[in-house]
Amino acid sequence: MLPGLKPERKALISAGTNTYGVQAAADFVCRADPVGSLVSRLPNRSDGRLPDFEALLHVKINGGVPVSSQLLLIRIRR
């Protein structure tokens, strides 16, 4: 998550080393449980907004389909 073009906006960029990685990253941020685990690892801000961050996922692929994603680490952007 990065600053948007306007100060009140944010941009979320999903990327991977191949199509399956991008698919898994998009799936990760569209499901409540994984997003909840990610948000719980972010520091609390006094204004209640999420800080800008980068997250690294480990994705397991079976038969050309992403079957699981694990949050490995988070880097807070300053």
Query: Residue 46: its pLDDT value, please?
Result: 85
By percentage, how much of the chain surpasses pLDDT 90?
A: 79
Per-residue tokens: 5: 């073009």
Query: pTM of the entire structure?
Result: 0.84
50 DSSP assignment:
P
Compare 7 and 37 and report the one with higher pLDDT.
Answer: 37
State the residue range of the domain holding 71: 2-76
Type of residue found at 56: L
pLDDT in tens, 21-72: 999 999 999 999 999 999 999 998 888 889 999 999 999 999 988 999 999 9
Q: How far apart are CA 3 and CA 7, in angstroms?
A: 7
Other CB atoms within 10 Å distance of the CB of residue 19: 10
Average pLDDT, the chain: 92
Count up the domains in the chain and report the number: 1
Name the β-bridge partners of 40. Answer: none
